[in-house]
Protein backbone atom coordinates (compact mmCIF):
# COMPACT_ATOMS: atom_id res chain seq x y z
CA UNK A 1 0.00 0.00 0.00
CA UNK A 2 1.32 3.44 -0.96
CA UNK A 3 0.30 6.26 1.35
CA UNK A 4 0.55 10.03 0.89
CA UNK A 5 1.27 11.96 4.08
CA UNK A 6 0.41 15.63 3.64
CA UNK A 7 2.36 17.59 6.25
CA UNK A 8 4.46 14.46 6.70
CA UNK A 9 7.65 16.37 7.55
CA UNK A 10 6.01 17.74 10.73
CA UNK A 11 6.01 16.41 14.27
CA UNK A 12 3.24 13.81 14.08
CA UNK A 13 3.71 13.18 10.33
CA UNK A 14 7.39 12.23 10.66
CA UNK A 15 6.66 9.77 13.49
CA UNK A 16 3.83 8.28 11.43
CA UNK A 17 6.08 8.02 8.35
CA UNK A 18 8.55 6.02 10.42
CA UNK A 19 5.82 3.76 11.79
CA UNK A 20 4.33 3.10 8.32
CA UNK A 21 7.73 2.38 6.73
CA UNK A 22 8.54 -0.09 9.50
CA UNK A 23 5.17 -1.76 8.89
CA UNK A 24 6.02 -2.26 5.21
CA UNK A 25 4.01 0.58 3.66
CA UNK A 26 5.38 2.83 0.92
CA UNK A 27 5.23 6.48 1.82
CA UNK A 28 5.35 9.77 -0.08
CA UNK A 29 5.21 13.17 1.61
CA UNK A 30 3.85 16.51 0.41
CA UNK A 31 4.88 19.38 2.69
CA UNK A 32 5.49 23.08 2.11
CA UNK A 33 7.97 23.12 5.04
CA UNK A 34 6.17 26.12 6.57
CA UNK A 35 6.61 24.56 10.02
CA UNK A 36 9.11 21.74 9.48
CA UNK A 37 12.47 20.70 8.15
CA UNK A 38 13.38 18.11 5.48
CA UNK A 39 15.96 16.86 8.01
CA UNK A 40 13.12 15.08 9.87
CA UNK A 41 12.50 12.83 6.87
CA UNK A 42 16.22 12.28 6.25
CA UNK A 43 16.39 10.95 9.80
CA UNK A 44 13.32 8.77 9.26
CA UNK A 45 15.10 7.28 6.24
CA UNK A 46 18.20 6.62 8.32
CA UNK A 47 16.22 4.98 11.11
CA UNK A 48 14.18 2.74 8.82
CA UNK A 49 16.65 2.16 5.99
CA UNK A 50 13.77 2.96 3.62
CA UNK A 51 12.98 5.93 1.46
CA UNK A 52 10.41 8.59 2.38
CA UNK A 53 10.40 10.86 -0.68
CA UNK A 54 9.43 14.46 -0.05
CA UNK A 55 7.72 16.67 -2.58
CA UNK A 56 8.00 20.27 -1.46
CA UNK A 57 4.67 21.82 -2.36
CA UNK A 58 1.43 23.17 -1.06
CA UNK A 59 -1.80 21.29 -0.43
CA UNK A 60 -3.78 24.38 -1.32
CA UNK A 61 -2.29 24.24 -4.82
CA UNK A 62 -3.99 21.70 -7.11
CA UNK A 63 -0.94 21.55 -9.38
CA UNK A 64 1.29 20.57 -6.47
CA UNK A 65 -1.23 17.93 -5.43
CA UNK A 66 -1.42 16.61 -8.99
CA UNK A 67 2.37 16.44 -9.14
CA UNK A 68 2.24 14.00 -6.24
CA UNK A 69 -0.52 11.85 -7.71
CA UNK A 70 1.34 11.76 -11.06
CA UNK A 71 4.24 9.94 -9.36
CA UNK A 72 2.16 6.73 -9.31
CA UNK A 73 -0.97 5.25 -7.73
CA UNK A 74 -1.71 6.36 -4.18
CA UNK A 75 -3.96 4.06 -2.16
CA UNK A 76 -4.62 6.30 0.83
CA UNK A 77 -3.90 9.75 2.25
CA UNK A 78 -3.20 10.81 5.81
CA UNK A 79 -3.91 14.52 5.92
CA UNK A 80 -1.73 16.22 8.56
CA UNK A 81 -1.01 19.45 6.66
CA UNK A 82 -2.31 22.56 8.36
CA UNK A 83 -1.52 25.47 10.64
CA UNK A 84 -2.01 24.57 14.31
CA UNK A 85 -1.37 27.46 16.70
CA UNK A 86 -4.54 28.44 18.53
CA UNK A 87 -3.42 31.97 19.51
CA UNK A 88 -2.14 32.75 16.02
CA UNK A 89 -5.46 31.58 14.58
CA UNK A 90 -7.26 34.23 16.64
CA UNK A 91 -4.92 36.92 15.26
CA UNK A 92 -4.95 35.65 11.66
CA UNK A 93 -8.26 33.80 11.21
CA UNK A 94 -8.37 34.20 7.43
CA UNK A 95 -4.93 32.65 7.00
CA UNK A 96 -6.11 29.66 9.05
CA UNK A 97 -9.41 29.23 7.20
CA UNK A 98 -7.66 29.68 3.87
CA UNK A 99 -4.79 27.26 4.50
CA UNK A 100 -6.56 24.54 6.46
CA UNK A 101 -9.82 24.47 4.53
CA UNK A 102 -8.43 25.01 1.01
CA UNK A 103 -6.00 22.17 1.66
CA UNK A 104 -8.79 19.79 2.66
CA UNK A 105 -11.05 20.73 -0.26
CA UNK A 106 -8.39 20.63 -2.97
CA UNK A 107 -7.00 17.40 -1.62
CA UNK A 108 -10.44 15.73 -1.77
CA UNK A 109 -10.98 16.94 -5.33
CA UNK A 110 -7.62 15.70 -6.56
CA UNK A 111 -8.04 12.38 -4.71
CA UNK A 112 -11.35 11.87 -6.52
CA UNK A 113 -9.80 12.74 -9.85
CA UNK A 114 -7.13 10.09 -9.34
CA UNK A 115 -9.44 7.44 -7.87
CA UNK A 116 -8.03 7.52 -4.33
CA UNK A 117 -10.83 6.91 -1.83
CA UNK A 118 -9.22 6.55 1.59
CA UNK A 119 -8.43 9.51 3.84
CA UNK A 120 -7.41 9.68 7.50
CA UNK A 121 -7.68 13.19 8.92
CA UNK A 122 -5.86 14.90 11.82
CA UNK A 123 -8.63 16.39 13.90
CA UNK A 124 -8.40 17.52 17.50
CA UNK A 125 -10.11 17.21 20.85
CA UNK A 126 -10.56 20.96 20.54
CA UNK A 127 -13.75 20.26 18.52
CA UNK A 128 -15.47 19.20 21.77
CA UNK A 129 -15.39 22.84 22.92
CA UNK A 130 -15.98 23.64 26.58
CA UNK A 131 -18.37 22.60 29.34
CA UNK A 132 -18.43 18.89 28.64
CA UNK A 133 -18.56 15.97 31.01
CA UNK A 134 -15.49 13.74 30.99
CA UNK A 135 -14.42 11.43 29.46
CA UNK A 136 -15.21 12.88 26.04
CA UNK A 137 -17.08 10.48 23.77
CA UNK A 138 -17.17 10.78 19.99
CA UNK A 139 -20.96 11.27 19.93
CA UNK A 140 -20.88 14.26 22.30
CA UNK A 141 -21.94 17.64 20.90
CA UNK A 142 -19.17 19.69 19.30
CA UNK A 143 -18.37 23.38 18.99
CA UNK A 144 -15.21 25.46 19.08
CA UNK A 145 -13.81 28.54 20.75
CA UNK A 146 -11.19 29.65 18.21
CA UNK A 147 -10.64 29.71 14.41
CA UNK A 148 -8.10 26.85 14.52
CA UNK A 149 -10.71 24.65 16.17
CA UNK A 150 -13.34 25.67 13.63
CA UNK A 151 -11.01 24.69 10.75
CA UNK A 152 -10.89 21.19 12.26
CA UNK A 153 -14.64 21.16 12.84
CA UNK A 154 -15.40 22.33 9.28
CA UNK A 155 -12.85 19.91 7.76
CA UNK A 156 -14.60 17.08 9.61
CA UNK A 157 -17.88 18.30 8.10
CA UNK A 158 -16.42 18.58 4.58
CA UNK A 159 -15.00 15.06 4.70
CA UNK A 160 -18.19 13.59 6.18
CA UNK A 161 -20.31 15.21 3.47
CA UNK A 162 -17.88 14.13 0.73
CA UNK A 163 -18.10 10.53 1.96
CA UNK A 164 -21.90 10.71 2.11
CA UNK A 165 -21.94 11.74 -1.56
CA UNK A 166 -19.42 9.14 -2.69
CA UNK A 167 -20.06 5.58 -1.53
CA UNK A 168 -16.54 4.51 -2.44
CA UNK A 169 -14.99 6.87 0.07
CA UNK A 170 -13.61 5.85 3.42
CA UNK A 171 -12.94 8.60 5.96
CA UNK A 172 -11.46 8.27 9.44
CA UNK A 173 -11.51 11.44 11.52
CA UNK A 174 -8.97 11.10 14.33
CA UNK A 175 -9.45 13.44 17.27
CA UNK A 176 -6.04 13.71 18.92
CA UNK A 177 -5.71 14.62 22.57
CA UNK A 178 -2.29 15.98 23.68
CA UNK A 179 0.57 14.35 21.76
CA UNK A 180 3.95 14.63 23.50
CA UNK A 181 7.26 12.77 23.55
CA UNK A 182 9.47 11.64 20.71
CA UNK A 183 10.78 8.51 19.04
CA UNK A 184 12.85 6.43 21.47
CA UNK A 185 15.96 6.90 19.29
CA UNK A 186 15.99 10.61 20.17
CA UNK A 187 16.55 11.33 16.46
CA UNK A 188 13.14 12.79 15.63
CA UNK A 189 10.85 14.88 17.81
CA UNK A 190 8.91 18.10 18.19
CA UNK A 191 10.79 21.19 16.97
CA UNK A 192 8.71 24.26 17.79
CA UNK A 193 9.92 27.55 16.37
CA UNK A 194 10.46 30.31 18.94
CA UNK A 195 9.29 29.96 22.53
CA UNK A 196 7.11 26.86 22.88
CA UNK A 197 3.41 27.38 23.54
CA UNK A 198 2.68 23.86 24.73
CA UNK A 199 3.57 22.37 28.08
CA UNK A 200 6.01 19.53 27.33
CA UNK A 201 8.28 21.41 24.89
CA UNK A 202 8.37 24.27 27.40
CA UNK A 203 9.32 21.91 30.25
CA UNK A 204 12.08 20.44 28.06
CA UNK A 205 13.54 23.86 27.35
CA UNK A 206 13.50 24.72 31.06
CA UNK A 207 15.30 21.43 31.72
CA UNK A 208 17.93 22.33 29.13
CA UNK A 209 18.45 25.79 30.65
CA UNK A 210 17.22 27.52 27.48
CA UNK A 211 14.26 28.89 29.45
CA UNK A 212 14.47 29.87 33.11
CA UNK A 213 11.27 28.74 34.79
CA UNK A 214 8.00 27.11 33.83
CA UNK A 215 4.88 29.22 34.23
CA UNK A 216 2.03 27.08 35.54
CA UNK A 217 -1.12 28.67 34.17
CA UNK A 218 -3.54 28.59 37.11
CA UNK A 219 -3.79 26.49 40.27
CA UNK A 220 -7.41 27.29 41.05
CA UNK A 221 -9.15 24.94 38.62
CA UNK A 222 -11.62 22.37 39.99
CA UNK A 223 -9.01 19.57 39.65
CA UNK A 224 -7.24 17.51 42.35
CA UNK A 225 -4.25 19.90 42.61
CA UNK A 226 -5.88 22.96 41.00
CA UNK A 227 -3.81 22.82 37.78
CA UNK A 228 -5.19 21.91 34.34
CA UNK A 229 -5.70 18.24 33.51
CA UNK A 230 -5.06 16.81 30.02
CA UNK A 231 -4.86 13.46 28.25
CA UNK A 232 -1.19 13.26 27.16
CA UNK A 233 -0.43 10.60 24.57
CA UNK A 234 2.98 9.41 23.35
CA UNK A 235 3.47 10.49 19.73
CA UNK A 236 4.54 6.93 18.79
CA UNK A 237 1.28 5.52 20.17
CA UNK A 238 -0.50 8.19 18.14
CA UNK A 239 1.46 7.16 15.03
CA UNK A 240 0.39 3.54 15.57
CA UNK A 241 -3.21 4.78 15.81
CA UNK A 242 -2.86 5.98 12.22
CA UNK A 243 -1.70 2.57 11.10
CA UNK A 244 -4.79 1.07 12.76
CA UNK A 245 -6.98 3.69 11.07
CA UNK A 246 -5.52 2.86 7.64
CA UNK A 247 -6.18 -0.84 8.19
CA UNK A 248 -9.75 -0.08 9.20
CA UNK A 249 -10.32 2.24 6.24
CA UNK A 250 -9.00 -0.30 3.76
CA UNK A 251 -11.78 -2.70 4.83
CA UNK A 252 -14.70 -0.32 5.46
CA UNK A 253 -16.51 2.53 3.68
CA UNK A 254 -18.19 5.64 5.13
CA UNK A 255 -17.04 7.90 7.97
CA UNK A 256 -15.76 7.05 11.42
CA UNK A 257 -14.72 9.51 14.09
CA UNK A 258 -12.34 8.16 16.72
CA UNK A 259 -10.56 9.68 19.73
CA UNK A 260 -6.83 9.01 20.04
CA UNK A 261 -5.94 9.45 23.69
CA UNK A 262 -5.05 7.31 26.68
CA UNK A 263 -8.22 7.93 28.67
CA UNK A 264 -6.15 9.16 31.63
CA UNK A 265 -5.82 12.77 32.71
CA UNK A 266 -2.68 14.25 34.28
CA UNK A 267 -2.32 17.72 35.79
CA UNK A 268 0.42 20.22 34.99
CA UNK A 269 2.08 19.43 38.31
CA UNK A 270 1.79 15.67 37.63
CA UNK A 271 3.75 16.30 34.43
CA UNK A 272 6.38 18.36 36.22
CA UNK A 273 6.84 15.67 38.89
CA UNK A 274 6.90 12.80 36.38
CA UNK A 275 9.46 14.64 34.23
CA UNK A 276 11.67 15.35 37.23
CA UNK A 277 11.50 11.73 38.40
CA UNK A 278 12.02 10.14 34.98
CA UNK A 279 15.02 12.29 34.16
CA UNK A 280 16.44 13.07 37.58
CA UNK A 281 16.16 16.82 37.01
CA UNK A 282 14.49 19.77 38.71
CA UNK A 283 12.02 21.99 36.90
CA UNK A 284 11.66 25.34 38.65
CA UNK A 285 8.19 26.83 38.23
CA UNK A 286 5.94 29.72 39.26
CA UNK A 287 2.22 29.64 39.66
CA UNK A 288 0.80 32.26 37.26
CA UNK A 289 -2.69 33.40 36.27
CA UNK A 290 -4.85 31.15 34.10
CA UNK A 291 -4.18 31.26 30.34
CA UNK A 292 -7.23 32.71 28.55
CA UNK A 293 -9.22 30.06 26.68
CA UNK A 294 -7.95 27.11 28.75
CA UNK A 295 -10.35 24.59 30.23
CA UNK A 296 -9.92 22.75 33.54
CA UNK A 297 -10.01 19.16 32.36
CA UNK A 298 -9.94 17.24 29.10
CA UNK A 299 -9.55 13.50 28.56
CA UNK A 300 -10.79 10.91 26.13
CA UNK A 301 -13.20 8.02 26.21
CA UNK A 302 -11.06 5.41 24.45
CA UNK A 303 -13.61 2.61 24.07
CA UNK A 304 -14.35 3.29 20.41
CA UNK A 305 -10.67 3.25 19.43
CA UNK A 306 -10.37 -0.18 21.05
CA UNK A 307 -13.54 -1.56 19.45
CA UNK A 308 -13.30 -0.05 15.97
CA UNK A 309 -9.56 0.30 15.39
CA UNK A 310 -8.37 -2.46 17.78
CA UNK A 311 -5.83 0.07 19.02
CA UNK A 312 -4.94 1.45 22.40
CA UNK A 313 -2.07 3.52 23.74
CA UNK A 314 0.66 1.41 25.36
CA UNK A 315 3.36 3.82 26.49
CA UNK A 316 3.49 5.31 29.99
CA UNK A 317 3.88 8.88 31.21
CA UNK A 318 7.42 7.94 32.22
CA UNK A 319 8.13 6.89 28.60
CA UNK A 320 6.73 10.20 27.36
CA UNK A 321 8.92 12.22 29.76
CA UNK A 322 12.08 10.20 29.06
CA UNK A 323 11.67 10.29 25.30
CA UNK A 324 10.82 14.01 25.22
CA UNK A 325 13.98 14.80 27.20
CA UNK A 326 16.14 12.41 25.19
CA UNK A 327 15.14 14.25 21.99
CA UNK A 328 15.72 17.69 23.56
CA UNK A 329 19.06 16.69 25.05
CA UNK A 330 20.36 15.24 21.77
CA UNK A 331 19.01 18.10 19.66
CA UNK A 332 19.18 21.32 21.70
CA UNK A 333 18.61 23.35 18.53
CA UNK A 334 16.04 20.97 17.02
CA UNK A 335 16.68 20.26 13.35
CA UNK A 336 18.60 23.57 13.09
CA UNK A 337 16.44 24.87 10.25
Q: Which residue is nearest to ligand NAD (CB)?
A: 10
Cβ 312 to ligand UD1 shortest distance, Å: 20
Cβ 175 to ligand NAD shortest distance, Å: 8
CB-nearer residue toward ligand UD1: 19 or 216: 216
DSSP assignment string, 108-152 = HHHHHHTT--EEEEEEEGGGG-SS-PSSB-TTS----SSHHHHHH
Cβ 36 to ligand NAD shortest distance, Å: 3
CB-nearer residue toward ligand UD1: 47 or 295: 295
Cβ 221 to ligand UD1 shortest distance, Å: 8
Residue 21 interacting entry, from ligand NAD, ligand UD1, none, C-beta within 5 to 8 Å by type = none
Give first-to-last CA distance, the chain, whole Å: 32
**Residue 276 burial (CB count, 10 A):** 15
Which position among 25, 96, 128, 148 bears the catalytic label? 148
Specify the DSSP class assigned to residue 84: -
User: Would you state the torsion angle of the CA atoms of residues 268, 269, 274, 276, taken in this order, to the nearest 10 degrees?
Assistant: 110
| Residues contributing to the site for ligand NAD (CB under 6 A) | 6-7, 9-13, 30-36, 58-60, 80-84, 99, 103, 122, 124, 176, 179
Residue 294 interacting entry, from ligand UD1, ligand NAD, none, C-beta within 5 to 8 Å by type = ligand UD1
| Residues contributing to the site for ligand UD1 (CB under 6 A) | 86, 124, 126, 178, 197-199, 202, 215-217, 228, 230, 268, 291, 293-294
Q: Is 148 in the active site?
A: yes
DSSP SS3 for 207:
helix
Residue 86 interacting entry, from ligand NAD, ligand UD1, none, C-beta within 5 to 8 Å by type = ligand UD1
Residue 261 interacting entry, from ligand NAD, ligand UD1, none, C-beta within 5 to 8 Å by type = none
CB-nearer residue toward ligand UD1: 170 or 279: 279
Beta strands per DSSP E along the chain:
2-6, 26-31, 54-56, 76-79, 118-124, 170-176, 178-180, 214-217, 229-230, 232-234, 254-260, 266-267, 285-288, 297-298
The answer to whether the CB of 7 falls within 8 A of the CB of 79 is yes
Residues written for the chain: 337
d(CA 97, CA 249): 27
Specify the DSSP class assigned to residue 73: -
Residue 248 interacting entry, from ligand NAD, ligand UD1, none, C-beta within 5 to 8 Å by type = none
Cβ 280 to ligand NAD shortest distance, Å: 27
- Catalytic positions are 148
Amino acid sequence: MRVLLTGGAGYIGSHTALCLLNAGYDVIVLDNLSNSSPEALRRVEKLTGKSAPLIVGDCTDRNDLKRVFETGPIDAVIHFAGFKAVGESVEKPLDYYDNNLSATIHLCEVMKEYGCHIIVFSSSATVYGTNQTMPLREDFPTGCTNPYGWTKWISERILTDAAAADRDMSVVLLRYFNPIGAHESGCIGEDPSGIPLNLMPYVCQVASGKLQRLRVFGNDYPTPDGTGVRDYIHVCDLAEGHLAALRYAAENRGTQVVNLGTGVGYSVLDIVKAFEKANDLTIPYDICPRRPGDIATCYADVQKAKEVLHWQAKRTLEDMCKDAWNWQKNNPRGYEK
